[in-house]
Chain A
Amino acid sequence: MSKQEQHWEKTRNLLFVTLAIWFVFSIGIFLFGAEMNEVTGPFGYPWTYWFTCQGSLGIFVILIFWFANRQEKIDEEFGFSERGDD
């Protein structure tokens, strides 16, 4: 496998992991919205309410930064990272 193919395989795997986490917090948990709302969650809000107000939103922010860092590492590993500033 060429360097480029290996790089793309790792990139694709990272995409799958990212999308899996995204799926859980944007869709998966809301399948159980009614049940989850019965339980008290962070700061005393009901769980489902908290996820829609802050939880899922905050997790998305963290997820994107985590994804960006991982992708940069992959790019560096194969020598595909850009030089210079960001």
Chain B
Amino acid sequence: MKGNFIDNLPRVYGIYTGGFLAFIIIMAICEQMGMTAKTIGICFVAFTVAIYAIIGWLSRTAQADAYYVAGRQVPTVFNGMATAADWMSGASFVAMAGGIYFKGYGYMALLVGWTGGYVLVASLLAPYLRKFGCYTVPDFIGTRYGGNLSRLLAVIVLTVASFTYVTAQINATGTIASVALDIPFQYAVYVGLVSILLCSMLGGMRGVTWTQVAQYIVLIIAYLLPVFWISNKMGAGFFPHFMLADEVARIGELEQQFGFVKNSAADLANVPKGLAGITKAHSAVNATPWAFISLALAMMMGTASLPHVMMRYFTTPSVKAARKSVGWSLFFIFLLYSSAPMLATLSKLSLIDPSLPTGIIGKSIAEVQAIDWYQNWNQANLMFVSDFNGNGTLELNEFFMGGKAVVLATPEIAGLPYVISGLVAAGGMAAAMSTADGLILAIANALSHDLYYKIIDPKAETAKRLVVARVLLVVIGFAGATIAAMEIQGILGSVIWAFDFAMSGLFFPLVLGVWWKRANKEGAIAGMALGLASGMGYLIWVRNGGSGFLGITQLTFGIFGSAVSLVSMVVVSLITSAPNAATQKMVDEVRVPSGRTILGKQ
């Protein structure tokens, strides 16, 4: 190929996408020729992970600029794809449609929150941090406010938030690997971990960038193809996003017809853990305005404070490109997020509508228990029926499903070939791996660059710094996997906590660092320390039976944490002296897009 790698990117990824589609077709042919479902699953996961590993190996580097910020030459659109993969976790991929399926409107605050946050990223932070020219988020805090303590606190907030998040991702890779490869979860977690480290260890940010682009392509095909296919097969419309209004209305009718019967506690005790029934309206407004808005707001501010997202915008060639790149990121995220409610609608209707061939409500219990897919997913502990009222017929309140089943089982229920289920497994794996990589790298980079290089040993040579960075990457990965193997908190719970931790400690110190010249070191230290401490305190209080206040729950505790952070930062900044002239001049320069980066001048 002529020209350098960057110029050839569209061609490289074009060929890759074509190759992946060809692979899907080959697998479909193999399925027709009698390849077993299990072999297809293994092929999909093994093939895609092998590709990522090759990309990771090809991206190996010994330069600090390439390792930390991919050489700052990632074009806007590709950075957008990489950010989208970085962003959309295993939870987005596997659990989001399920959440919408079970909780409806109240849950969809997450869709608004996880997209609206990008407006804050684009307008308040990303371009300015790009101009700053830092390697990590604590690098900005440490240089803007000065002093090792502020840098250290930023590292602590980053680590608490990202580590909470990463265990959930490693858990997700483990779940998918254990299903697809048919090995016990405790081992599957480490298989997932090794796959993750293969992408990031040799090439750092450069390796992660180019694998994330590849992972985005896999995950978006794996999500959209089944949605369109199912919609067409059901005759619901060839472009589901614009054509499911009748289906949404039909679900509303059926809900009216069946009613939401409340099960007794004794009946529910028989239902396997983690499964839920349909108890909330699909499209009606079922949450108070504050419950919806507070969750959306917490997720938006959390988005703008999560370091693994922010650091993706350090890799663009210019400030201008950083802004545009945020737009592309959200566009690529939009493609998946706007499809999740459609999948939830199709999945729910195909199960509950008695007039559809796939509908099971209203059938006899024995008949449902004889269906192949029911038996498979019942065995996988993701589906359950029980005749509570003893009338022999399945009622809406007698059918239970796991949240993951919406994405994982719907293709099978709708009668799609198994090759689609294999594809979905590969997509889920890609989603979880790409996010885990971004997070582990964010933590390892902060510890190696900010803690080791900037605080402990400022004279360390590049080679030594990169060795430290890689050792930390492995250590953090193993620590995450070990905790994931213990299965403490469900996938989604810990994801939401990460947002709250990040916004409690980092949102205002980051934003005011750019937008308020008067903000000083003492203020930032108070903001980070008190914000994180009060957010964490609130979480512990509510978890231990505390009643909470103002409707702030354990999912939105960041609202309290960040409010404390804002107040303490402003008050402490104002009662201590203004930042010195050099710092003020630095802030002025950050606000101007042209010219060299701040750190590039020093």
Contact = CB atoms under 8 A, between A and B. Distances in A.
Interface of A: 4, 7-8, 11, 14-15, 18-19, 22, 25-27, 30-34, 37, 43-46, 48-49, 51-54, 56-58, 60-61, 63-65, 67-68, 71-72, 75, 79-86
Contacts of B243: 43
B593 A22 contact: no
Contacts of B115: 56-57, 60-61
A73 to B, nearest CB: 11
Interface in B117-134: 118-120, 122-124, 127
B118 A60 contact: yes
10 contacts: A22-B119, A26-B296, A27-B297, A31-B293, A46-B283, A48-B285, A52-B109, A60-B115, A79-B594, A82-B593
Nearest to B326: A64
B324 A65 contact: yes
B120 A4 contact: no
Which of B118, B292, B320, B588 has its CB near the most chain A CB atoms (within 10 A)? Answer: B320
Interface string B513-554: 000000000000000000000000000000000000000000
B285 A34 contact: yes
A46 to B, nearest CB: 6
Interface residues on B, range: 35 or more
Given A30-B296, A61-B327, A81-B594, A37 B318 contact: no
Contacts of A64: 118-119, 122-123, 323, 326-327, 330
B81 interface: no
Interface stretch (B180-188, B334-342, B395-403): B334-342
B318 A84 contact: yes
Given A61-B327, A61-B334, A64-B119, A82 B594 contact: yes
Contacts of A85: 317-318, 321
A51 B293 CA distance: 13
Given A45-B245, A54-B338, A86-B317, A27 B327 contact: no
Nearest to A51: B112
Given A37-B285, A86-B320, A65 B116 contact: no
Interface of B: 76, 105, 108-109, 111-113, 115-116, 118-120, 122-124, 127, 241-246, 248-249, 283-285, 287, 289, 292-293, 296-297, 300, 317-321, 323-324, 326-327, 330-331, 334, 337-338, 341-342, 588, 591-594
A8 to B, nearest CB: 6
Given A27-B293, A33-B289, A52 B242 contact: no
Nearest to A63: B119
Contacts of A8: 591
Contact of A61 (B283, B331, B588, B594): B331
B13 to A, nearest CB: 19
A48 to B, nearest CB: 6
B289 A80 contact: no
Given A8-B591, A68-B324, A86 B119 contact: no
Contacts of A11: 591
Given A64-B122, A68-B122, A49 B330 contact: no
A53 B108 contact: yes
Nearest to A75: B593
Contacts of A67: 119, 122-123, 323
Ranked nearest first, the 7 interchain pairs of A and B with the lowest CB-CB distance are: A44-B245, A26-B116, A52-B108, A64-B327, A68-B323, A53-B341, A22-B119
Contacts of B109: 30, 52
A33 B327 contact: no
A58 B337 CA distance: 10
Contacts of A4: 588, 591-592
